[in-house]
Each structure stands twice: as structure tokens, then as C-alpha cells.
Amino acid sequence: MEHKIAEMSLAEKVGQLFQIGFSGPKVDAEIKDMIENYHVGGVIYFSRNIVNPAQTAELSNKLQDLSLNSGAKLPLFISADQEGGTVTRLKGATHFPGNMALGAAADQKLAYQAGEAVGDELKNLGINVNLAPDLDVNNNPDNPVIGVRSFGEDPELVAELGTAYIEGLQSQGVTATAKHFPGHGDTAVDSHLDLPVIRHSRSRLDQVELYPFKKAIEAGVDSIMTAHIYFPTIEKEEGIPATLSKAVLTDLLRKELGFEGLIITDCMEMNAIVNTFGTVEGAVRTIEAGSDTVLVSHSYQKQKNAIEAVLKAVKSGRISEERIDQSVKRILSLKGKRIRLAELKEADENKINFTAHQKVAREIAEKSVTMVKNEGVLPLKNIKEKKISVIDFKMGRVSLAEDVGEKSNLFLDYLKTDLNRVEHLSLEANQLSAAAEQKLNGSDLVVVCTYNAAVNRSQADIAEKLAADYNVLVLALRNPYDFKYLDQVQAFITTYDYSPASQKAAADLVRGKIEAQGKLPVSIK
């Protein structure tokens, strides 16, 4: 490795420190330029890059071929945020229930199997880094960006399930990335939009936020992603995000916690960075602070500018070449560990056992669906003769189907498979019209499918109004915290996300085919 680093030009070494996004499902001129002329060490896939498994595997093969035949002739890290639940990038792959569903199931074996199955799918699509799991301890019900992406509010549960998932994922040769260090669970601000601040004492941070990361390090996690959050207890300079803080990344994560793996930033185009130091200056500062990989997910121009700024900083003496070499060594070491050259350019979706993976997804869903309230509503006797009305809400990009943009409701489809009288009302503006109310007449059960009622409060209001005249079951298809806004409804169940397996589990529960086994991993009242 030392020999390889000595052979590399400064531009090739600096390029290895960057992981970038690009637009579209094919290799275009911009990503070709970034690989061939800026020598980037990795790329990140978003939904915009993915059409189906066959196309994803082909894209991965082409990108690796491009990288292996240019510059330092090194393989790429190819990453994706394949968390499961509400953060799922791969179209046509298994849509696993997310972390909070795993938290409700509280089964380490299932968490391992989920990681193992996700790793198998990613590996065979040419993706060698999963930017997961999320190890944030979600103890703030108003958190706008973490929520159900967390395993729960108990640091020990988060650590147990998170490490099991990491071990399953890495057993397949895919790098796991614990995020968002030192912890994004207790914020009420989305770092995509602004800079959050967490002011807890160091003893509290040790007991809660840092605990899962310590356990992940002990379990051998390959990579840790930084949080764009200011922690004044750790970083004394006002307004410095953890991503740009030497006190957080070098003094705490490296020296105190003993992490020797790869430190990757969250995207440097998020407003918590853009509105403070900017993407370009932020790239220089995060390397100074201790990051190994700088993630710039969107802008081609900012990607080029950031790489050029780091090159300039090295040439001017602001950053030593020795510091760059430290990160390159970690990057090449991890690539050597996780990327098998013999398997490169041979991604093939036909190697994936989707049937086995869907079975794991169903088991997670059935063990996690949670009955929070039930005032004699379920089980519904002689259900095939009863009229069940299902209300959902048309919410733009949010979908209750497997593919974003679809307007069908899978929960409804599953109910209809063996029930005779199912009425469907899909409300346009979150308002219940007189005509809609007329359709409900004679309903034995009204199921209201909510999605993040904290933001879409009218959904809870409609459920509460109907509870005066009907037996109302609220099905929270994302946020268990929806229960905070409900008093009158007779029953409440949550699946923690809208994955197909979770919607089927909810339908099976209503139909009496399964019993609710999940336990809330967060406090909701």
C-alpha cells in the first residue's frame, strides 16, 4: 500500500478523498470527467440513478471499468442510503421495514438477517458501501429528519440492533456506515435546512448519544458518518458543526474512542454547511478536522471546486500532504478489505435470492406491527360480512405503494384480497367532504391511514371527528408519534413505515390472520 501511495500524484490522492453524486441512470460526461480527470474515490447512488436491478448492476460495472482504466487505476466505493423503511434507494430490490420496525420487533437475529440480506443485494448490484445503519437515539418526538430511521429511544436497544445489523451487512463484504456521529436523535431542526445545536452535558452524551457508536466501534464497523450539528460541550468554538470540528472527529472519535476506520461526512451541500462555511471551504475544513471522505452529492461545479480547493490548500501548506496520505491509506486499506478485484465489473442481479429476502422482510413486519390502543375494535367478528372503509391522503411525493409516485394503497389491496365490502376514500386536500362522508354510511370499521400527522395535522383531526360516529382504527404508516394527536379514536396501530411487507402485516392484523407482537421502542404520549 505504501508503494501504491508513493506512486500516486497529489491530484490522484486528493481525488480519492471525495465521494460524489451525479444525475441520471447512465454514465454521463460529468461523472466521466470526475472519475477520469478528478480521480474521485467514490460515487453515491440516489433514486435518480436507479431504474431497476439489471440497470443498477450494469451502471456499477461501467463505473468500475472507467475507474480501473484511468488515473491511479483504483476501484470505486459505490454507496447508497439503503436504510430500509422510509429511506430506500433501490428500485426493484427488497423493500425492508426500517430501523424502528426492527426496534419494535427487538430481535437481534432479525436485525442481523436484515443486514445480511441487504448486503447480499447491494453486493450483487455492485454497491460496496451502505450508508447505514442510523445509530441515532431518537428521544425527541419532534425530530423532523431521524424519527423512524432510528431503532428507538433506548441507547442499549439501538446499540444491540445496530451492531447486529452491521455484522450482517459486513458479513457480505459490504461496508457499514454508522451515522450520524456524535448523534442526531435529539434535534428539532433538520440539518438539511439549518444548523442544529445539541447542548447536553458530556456525561449525558456518553450515556445516550455516544453509546451506540462506542458499541459499533467495538463491533468493527468500517465507517462512521459525521453529523452537521454543533455540540458546544465538545467543540468550544461557537457554531462549528461536528463535521468541521477537530475536537469531535480527531480528539473524540479517533483518540478517545479509538476509531481507526473511515470517517465520511454527511453531504456537504446540506444547509447546515452551506449556510455556515459553504461546501468548498467546508471540504477543506473537514479534512483538517479529521475526515477521510468528503461527500458532495449533487453539484458538478461544487464537486470540482471543492477538490481544487483542497489541492490548493495542500500546495499552500495549509494541509500537509502527510495528512492527505493518512486518509488515502485508510481508503485504500478499506478498499482492499471489502472490494474483491476478481468480482469487479461482474455485478449481476440474477445472483440475488429475492424470495428468501422477502421472507425476512415479512418476518420483521409481522413481529413489529404494534397495537397501541384497542377499545374492543379488533378482532372484528364475521369480518367478511362487515363494511370496512379505508381513508388515505394524496400527499404528493409520499406514496403508500412500493414505488414513489404510485397512488395505490397496498394495505387496501391486501384487505381486498378476501374481504367482500371494502370502501376506499382517497382525500385530495385532507378534507372530508359531504360526499365522502356519505360513502362511510354503514361502516363497521373506518381505517384512517395517517402519515406523519405532526406535520399533516388535519389527518388526525379527521380521524378524531369520525370517532364520534364510527369505530375508527388509525393506521400510522410512518410515525408512531401520530398517537400524540389522537384521543377519541378507538384503536391505533403502527407499522413504522409503508414498506410492502409492513402494509401486508397491518392488513393481516385487521383480518385476524396475525396478532400484534411489536412493542413501542419510543415514548409517544
Q: Any idea of the CA torsion for 220, 186, 230, 167, to the nearest 10 degrees?
A: 10
Cell numbers placing 44: 453515491
Please report the beta strands in 96-211, taking only residues with DSSP state E, as ranges in sequence order: 129-130, 175-181
* Active site members: 192, 266
Q: Which residues contact 433 (CB under 8 A, 6 or more apart)?
A: none
Q: Round to whole Å and give the CA distance between 84 and 58.
A: 23
Q: Round to whole Å and give the CA distance between 112 and 115.
A: 5
Confirm if 243 and 228 have CB atoms less than 8 A apart.
Answer: yes
Q: Round to whole Å and give the CA distance between 421 and 415.
A: 10
Q: Round to whole Å and give the CA distance between 236 and 228.
A: 15
Rounded to 5°, angle at Cα 313 from 312 and 314: 90
Confirm if 22 and 34 have CB atoms less than 8 A apart.
Answer: yes
Task: Break the chain down into helix, strand, coil percent, rounded to 5.
Answer: 45, 15, 45
Q: Which residues contact 377 (CB under 8 A, 6 or more apart)?
A: 445, 471, 473, 490, 491
Q: Round to whole Å and give the CA distance between 43 and 343.
A: 18
